[in-house]
Amino acid sequence: MNEISGLTMLWIAFPFLMGFGIYLLPQADRVLSISLTICSAIYALGILQMPEPLSLSLLDNFGVTLLVDNLSIFFILTNALVSTAVIIYSWHTSKTAFFYTQLAILHGSLNSAFICADFVSLYVALEVIGIAAFLLIAYPRQNRSLWVALRYLFISNTAMLFYLIGAILIYQAHQSFAFAGLANAPLEAKALILIGLLVKGGIFVSGLWLPFTHAEAESPVSALLSGVVVKAGVFPLVRCALMVDDLALVLGWLGVVAALLGVLYGLFEQDSKRVLACSTLSQAGWILAAPAAAGPYALAHGVAKAALFLGVGNLPSRHLPTLRQRAIDPSLWVPILLGSLSISGFPLLLGFSSKMLTLKAVSSWQTWVLNLAAVGTAVLYANFIFLSCRQDPESKQALVKNPGLKLALGLLIAALIILNWVYLPQTFSGFNTLKATILMVTGWLLWWQGVSRIQWPFPKVMEQFEHLIGGMVVMLAVVLFITIMWTNTALETPLWRVFS
């Protein structure tokens, strides 16, 4: 057991050491950073062999507590796969050592967010993630990208201040910052912690900062943001939902509504990268809706979304009606098609298995709403599936210019196909296949019949900076309301039972 804990410590410290190492040895930046992500993948697969979760408590009772269980492994694996793909993609571009340093630090802080088991270590991890993501978004050094990054950091830091207030209230009640303290914590402490994490994870109204940030960043950075960084906020929510029952109720509710909101928001978009970002908003809700099946879903979404951002970011235009007018080269079209099919839930790809596991784990009313969201997802991705595919030298340019693109896409798509075989025995049945197909085809028909012709610009008022900050208070009220309505932590009997 001791060897494994030593190894875990080494694995957590490694990316940070390497991050600075890259600065000392800028010639080896790519090799060093890719060795990190490969180490993470090996570590995750190694821990998978362990019979029971690894729990570490460092520096006495008040120190850092870590917990590596099955759930963490899925998130660590997602992180490893997406980071590797992004490094391969950037291999032949002119990115400097600074970029790879930030990549290494982001990778390390994400890993630590995925294994920590107390609110303070999580706070530190999330803030480091915020800073590293800020520097990556601002990497092009243009004023526009600087504003996108600044807005992201401001919103996430304000959310983390709410989180800190919640953390100290929990400490006041339990003399400890451990996640387990959430069970009997005061109502306001729970709500404040949730707000911080909901904003970081891009759930429901508090996640509306996400479309602008994810769409305006460079493609490899978008892939990282949508693929893993958002999951650093969702992961602690899932872990808390698995530990505390009332929380599972509130988050199940929010997750389902968020899944629907993201899809509705994306329906009216004309911009390809914004469609992808809105879909992230919806998929984060899916992950949260069924905490028991969150691991596979996060993995499926992260890998497919990263592939889509890398692929779509290299199309000749971002405007969807323009894209429909022209042909896309098969070498770029096929990966985009497979990524889209996976998220839509096509059998034979990982998205199918994870979707079926999620639908099996939720309660019956949630199933109905989630089915609706699945149809909506199919509508969104029909935008990419029905692009015309023909030999086209212009759209092939991106692949010729950057040989890393093909390799990165290949890695991600191969992961989607291979990992699916692990789950297929559990999820493959005639009924499930039929259901997934019907959901998808319904979405495509809807798209073909009307959605593709909608030209109405959806108002973006809610995405203004001040509204996003004010939205946090609205969410605070919503969370408090749901908790009081449906659970009896604050009142002896739940309110809905009093009224009925």
Partner 1 sequence: MELGGSTILYACVYATILMGFLGIIFKENLVMKIIAMDVMSTGVVALFVLVAARTGVRTPILTASPLTPYADPVPQAVILTAIVIGFSIQALMLVGVMKLAKDNPTLEIRAIEEEYRP
Residues 86, 71: Cα–Cα separation, whole Å: 23
CA-CA-CA-CA torsion sign (459, 462, 463, 464): positive
* 8 Å CB contact between 249 and 264: no
- In the complex with partner 1, the residue whose CB is nearer, 62 or 368, is 62
Nearer to partner 1, 24 or 461 (CB): 461
Nearer to partner 1, 213 or 342 (CB): 213
Tokens of 324: 């429909």
Q: Minimal distance in Å, beta carbon 146 to partner 1?
A: 5
| Shorter beta-carbon distance to partner 1: residue 40 or 156 | 156
Q: How far is the CB of 214 from partner 1 (least distance, A)?
A: 12
Question: Between 54 and 463, whose beta carbon lies closer to partner 1?
Answer: 463
Q: Which helix (H) or strand (E) holds 388?
A: strand 388-389
CB of 218 to partner 1, least distance (A): 15
Contact 235, 227 (CB under 8 A): no
CB of 347 vs partner 1, minimal distance in Å: 36
The minimum distance between CB 492 and partner 1, in angstroms, equals: 21
Pairing status of strand 54-57 against strand 65-68: antiparallel
CB of 141 to partner 1, least distance (A): 8
Secondary element (H or E) of residue 67 = strand 65-68
Helix or strand or coil: residue 459? coil
Task: Between 171 and 386, name the residue whose CB sits nearer to partner 1.
Answer: 171
Q: What is the DSSP letter of 10?
A: H
Pick 391 or 464: Cβ nearer partner 1: 464
Q: Which is nearer to partner 1, 52 or 60 (by Cβ)?
A: 60
C-beta of 271: minimal distance to partner 1 in Å?
Answer: 7
- Rounded to whole angstroms, the Cα distance separating 311 from 357 reads 27
Rounded-to-integer distance, Cα 500 and Cα 497, Å: 5
Distances 394 to 312, 315, 339, 439, 489 between C-alpha atoms, Å: 14, 9, 22, 35, 61
Asked if residues 200 and 213 have their Cβ atoms less than 8 Å apart, the reply is no
**Least separation, in Å, of the C-beta of 78 and partner 1?**
25
- When the beta carbons of 91 and 154 are compared against partner 1, the nearer one is 154
Supply the Cα-derived Rg of the chain in whole angstroms.
22
CA distance 131 to 210: 16
- Any idea what DSSP says for residue 389? E
Report the nearest approach of partner 1 to the CB of residue 470 (Å). 6
Whole-angstrom Cα distance, residue 202 to residue 473?
A: 15
What distance in Å separates the CA atoms of residue 341 and residue 352, rounded to the nearest whole number?
9
Minimum CB distance to partner 1 smaller for 446 or for 469: 469
CA distance 454 to 248: 37
Q: Where are the alpha helices (DSSP H) in 177-244?
A: 187-201, 210-216, 219-224, 231-243
**Residues 6+ away with beta carbon under 8 Å from 86:** 103, 220, 223, 224, 306, 310, 408
Rounded least distance, CB 147 to partner 1, Å = 5
The binding site for partner 1 (CB under 8 A) comprises: 62, 120, 123-124, 127-128, 130-131, 134-135, 138, 143-144, 146-150, 153-154, 157-158, 161, 164-165, 168, 171-172, 177, 212, 215-216, 271, 274, 460, 464-466, 469-470, 473
Judged by beta carbon, residue 164 or residue 183, the one nearer partner 1 is: 164
- In whole angstroms, the minimum distance from the beta carbon of 165 to partner 1 comes to 6
Q: Are 287 and 357 in contact (CB under 8 A)?
A: no
